[in-house]
Structure 1
Amino acid sequence: MADDKMPLPLISEVLDQLKDAKVFNKLDIIWGYNNVRIREGDEWKAAFLTNRGLFEPTVMFFGMTNYMDDFIIPAKDDEELEARTICFLKLAEEHNLSFKQMKCEFNVSSTMVLGTVIGNGKATMEEEKVKAIKDWAVPATIKQVESFLRFANFYRRFIKNFSTIAQPLNELKSKKGEKLLRP
């Protein structure tokens, strides 16, 4: 297997590059990770044992590599979107990539990208995630505090003074094994 030549960009960088687009196409690739071939001769590196013997996959499976299976085509207007989409589809065809029509979006003013709604000049939280945070049960254990903080940390960019707000919860994490007192 060959290491990725370039690391994936930071989520914040991707979102910043997309937020000012006015129109988008989003294409979801069929078979996702299974389109990434394991270099011939390296299959043994991904081998695993089953009740039927040793299995050496020829393609990547989820978790073996960094990979994106959604392609976002941003544009400032419909004309640019069409030109970019034609160029992208030619490249996809050269590499024998196909897309799940049911999961593709075309000519939309906003779309979901990496858990964030992008469009109309801004990046916002998905309403479902906002509701999940509002409805989150008060943590009763340190483990539950850590779970909440991991979830909330992903959306810290949308929460003014997040580190100040989260500080008391972070301080609780040092009390491993203790039960929390409810107010």
Structure 2
Amino acid sequence: MHEVLRGLDFCFSYLDDVLVASSSEQEHFDHFKLIFQRFDEYGIVINLDKCCKAEVQFLGHLVNKDGIYPPPDKVTAISNYPKPTTVKEVRRFLAMINFYRRFLPNAAETQIPLLKYQKGNKRNDKTPVVWSPEAVNAFEKCKSDLVNATLLAHPMENKPICVMVDASDNAIDIVGPLPSSDGYAYLLTCIDRFTRWPEAFPLENITAEKVAEVFTRDGLHGLVSQAK
């Protein structure tokens, strides 16, 4: 599929799924014409049952005109995940929850008690986990935060993006809300950072908030130019 759509930079394909990003309804129709021409050239047949949907699932996310959110079946599966009994199972749980990390404010801070189980252990370590009250609370909060995860709004062209950063001795959190004309702020993305290794930055009078600003430039990529 990558070869079929080569050069069409408005397409994002994975296996037989193709996501098309356009800035207007007319441009969207024009993009589809180009895609259909390519499909015709390569003899690709479209499954009509998968067309004309108000909402689509793409790479483990549901996407509609309002934004992006985790599929309910994935949320249910993770929320029903039993308490891990080994370090390996803790890693597996964290991998599942972190797939939807950008929907979860303060994820790094919340996960600290669980991450401590991984310190110094190998990836497939089957060492039994001795649960502390803090770790149990963190495990349950991870699941409840995902259940209550908000929809992430699509970026709006020519609209400013507000960036709010917070930091502690353990973690850095960045939240990118999007202001709107109705007075509400819509969540664009959540970014956080947790590392077991010390990191140094050549900044004068460095503070945790300043380090968070550095990560913002990397985490928001091209959107940072709209941020304020």
TM-score of the alignment, normalized to the shorter chain, above 0.5: yes
Q: 1:113 to 1:177 in 2, by over 3 A?
A: closer
Is 1:124 aligned with 2:69?
A: yes
SS at match of 1:72: strand
2:106 to 145, 155, 161: 161
Q: How far has the Cα of 1:84 moved from its partner?
A: 2.3
Amino acid in structure 1 at the alignment position of 2:116:
E
| Aligned pairs (5 A) from 1:20-169 | 68-75=15-22, 79-102=26-49, 104-106=50-52, 108-169=53-114
| Cα shift at 1:79 | 4.3
- Kindly tell me the number of residue pairs found equivalent between the two proteins: 120
1:91-119 Cα deviation digits (max 9, x unpaired): 111223233344x221x332111111112
TM-score by length of 1: 0.55
Unpaired segments ≥5 residues, structure 1:
5-16, 19-25, 29-66
The alignment status of 1:181 with 2:130, answered yes or no, reads: yes
Shift of 1:88: 0.9
Return the alpha-carbon distance in structure 2 between the equivalents of residues 96 and 105 of structure 1: 18
User: 1:177 Cα shift?
Assistant: 4.2
Instruction: Give the superposition deviation at 1:80.
Output: 4.0
CA distance in 1, matches of 2:39, 2:73: 32
Q: Greater relative contact order (Cα 8 A, min sep 6): structure 1 or 2?
A: 1
Q: Distance in 2 between matches of 1:83 and 1:124?
A: 27
- 1:33-85 Cα deviation digits (max 9, x unpaired): xxxxxxxxxxxxxxxxxxxxxxxxxxxxxxxxxx5321123446654443322
Instruction: Give the SS at the match of 1:150.
Output: helix
Alpha-carbon shift at residue 141 of structure 1 (Å): 0.9
| One-letter amino acid of the counterpart of residue 131, structure 1 | T
Distance 2:87 2:18 in 1: 38
* AA of the residue aligned to 1:179: P
What is the rounded CA distance, in whole Å, between the counterparts of 2:86 and 2:66 in structure 1?
40
Name the counterpart of 1:36: none
Q: What is the aligned-residue RMSD (CA, Å)?
A: 2.9
Q: 5 Å matches for 1:5-16?
A: none
